Structure 1
Amino acid sequence: MIEVKDLHKSFGEAHILKGITTSFEKGKTNLIIGQSGSGKTVFLKCLLGLFDYEKGAIEYDGKIFSKLSDDEKRNLRAKIGMVFQGSALFDSMTIAENVMFPLRMFTKHSKSEMQDRVDFALQRVNLEGAHNKMPSEASGGMQKRVAIARAIVNNPKYLFCDEPNSGLDPKTAIVIDNLIQEITDEYQITTVINSHDMNSVMEIGEKIVFLKDGLKAWEGSNKTIFKTDNEVVTDFVYSSNLFKKVREMYLKDYK
């Protein structure tokens, strides 16, 4: 579990995060959503330890990140998997070499042990036989699955995904959503996803944190979001006629 307590972050006079308190649960897909400029990206980078913050605390399973020694922070980062928005694969490396990269950085495994982990991770994302392909030979959806394989190859306790469906068609996006949720449940990872995709919210939003102007405006799940009367949330979620109709149908059945 990751717990966030009264988190504040500023850049000069710009107060970006204004006292966020929430938690992200183990074995669940936890989504951070909100409009552009709401503070989602800054929040995610604070969680990852990329940004310092002026006030508050972030705890990983009870350990306050800011109070860890450099060695302890390095050990924690070895337990974190990251799926970047654009996949961020190394163009000069094969798919297998890309997936192996975290093992080379954070472990002292033998070459055969690393190869076994790479084989396992690629098999888990249904990319058997893709080891020797270059990223340029892979589709967007395939590249995203490689990025997920790289993120889980070191058996992480925590998985962060920054807009994992960015640039994908709706069908492929659903495949990626389902894969992330399956892996989260299967390995009981604490997964945090930064997203603007309402389809992802409805498909895998077991815990949703909605940010507005640097504040936590609402939190709940995809099972409760249809029932909220919070106008900030409803304006964001039901900005399309499709979701308005879905909500009307849901509320009618619920009554």
Structure 2
Amino acid sequence: MIEVKDLHKSFGDAHILKGINTTFEQGKTNLIIGQSGSGKTVFLKCLLGLFKYEKGTISYEGKVFQNLDKDEQGDLRAEIGMVFQGSALFDSMNILENVMFPLRMFTKLSKSEMQDRADFVLKRVQLEDAHFKKPNEASGGMQKRVAIARAIVNRPKYLFCDEPNSGLDPKTAIVIDNLIKEITEEFNITTVINSHDMNSVMEIGEKIVFLKNGLKAWEGSKHNIFSTDNEAVTDFVYSSNLFKKVRRMYNEDLL
């Protein structure tokens, strides 16, 4: 579990995060949503330890990141997997080498042990026959699956995903959503996803944190969204006619 208490982050005179309190639960898909400029990217980077914050705490199973020494922070980072928005694969490496990269960085496993670990996660994301392809030979969906395999190869406790469906067609996006959710449950990972994709929210949003102007404006589950009266949430979520119709049908079913 990750616990956030009274988190504040500024850049000069710009106060970006304004006292956020929340928790991200283990074994669940936790989503951060909000409009551009809401602070969700800055929030994610604070969670990753990439930005120092001025006030508040972020604790991982009770360990406050900014209170740890350099070695302890390194140990914690080794427990974190990251899926970047653009996959961020190394073009000069094949898929197997990309997946093995974190093992070379953070472990002392033998080459055969690293190979076994990489084989396992590639099979788990259904890419067992793609070891020697280069990233430019893989589709966008395949690249995302490679990125997920690389993120989990070191058996992380925490998995962060930044817009994992960016640039994907709707069908492939659903495949990636379901894969992330399955892996989260299978390995009991604390997964945090930064997303603007409402389809993802409604598919896998077990815990949703909605930010607006640097504040936590609402939190709940995908089921709570249908019944909330929070105007900021309804304006954001139901900006399309499709979701307005879905909400109307949901509320009619409750009558």
TM-score (norm 2): 1.00
Distance 1:137 1:146 in 2: 12
Alignment identity in percent? Answer: 83
Gaps (5+ residues) in structure 2?
none
Per the alignment, residue 6 of structure 1 pairs with 6
- Cα offset, 1:48, TM superposition: 0.2
Q: How does 1:98-247 map to 2 (within 5 A)?
A: 98-247=98-247
Per the alignment, residue 73 of structure 2 pairs with 73
Deviations 1:15-69 (A, max 9, x none): 0000000000000000000000000000000000000000000000011111111
Q: Secondary structure at the match of 2:239?
A: coil
- Cα offset, 1:114, TM superposition: 0.2
- Cα offset, 1:129, TM superposition: 1.3
Deviations 1:228-249 (A, max 9, x none): 0000000000000000000000
Q: How does 1:42-53 map to 2 (within 5 A)?
A: 42-53=42-53
Per the alignment, residue 253 of structure 2 pairs with 253
Name the Cα RMSD after superposition.
0.3
Distance 2:194 2:226 in 1: 20
Distance 1:174 1:14 in 2: 36
Distance 2:19 2:104 in 1: 38
Distance 1:209 1:72 in 2: 28
Q: How does 1:47-66 map to 2 (within 5 A)?
A: 47-66=47-66
- Cα offset, 1:127, TM superposition: 0.1
- Cα offset, 1:254, TM superposition: 1.4
Question: How many residue pairs are counted as aligned between the two chains?
Answer: 255
One-letter identity of the residue aligned with 2:193: I
Distance 1:202 1:252 in 2: 18
Distance 1:127 1:174 in 2: 17
- The answer to whether 1:94 aligns with 2:94 is yes
Distance 1:42 1:168 in 2: 23
- Cα offset, 1:201, TM superposition: 0.1
- Cα offset, 1:3, TM superposition: 0.2
Per the alignment, residue 36 of structure 1 pairs with 36
Distance 2:245 2:139 in 1: 34
Distance 1:254 1:166 in 2: 34
One-letter identity of the residue aligned with 1:75: D
Q: Secondary structure at the match of 1:244?
A: helix
Gaps (5+ residues) in structure 1?
none
Per the alignment, residue 83 of structure 2 pairs with 83
Distance 2:167 2:63 in 1: 36
- Cα offset, 1:226, TM superposition: 0.6
One-letter identity of the residue aligned with 1:154: N
TM-score (norm 1): 1.00
Deviations 1:172-214 (A, max 9, x none): 0000000000000000000000000000000000000000000
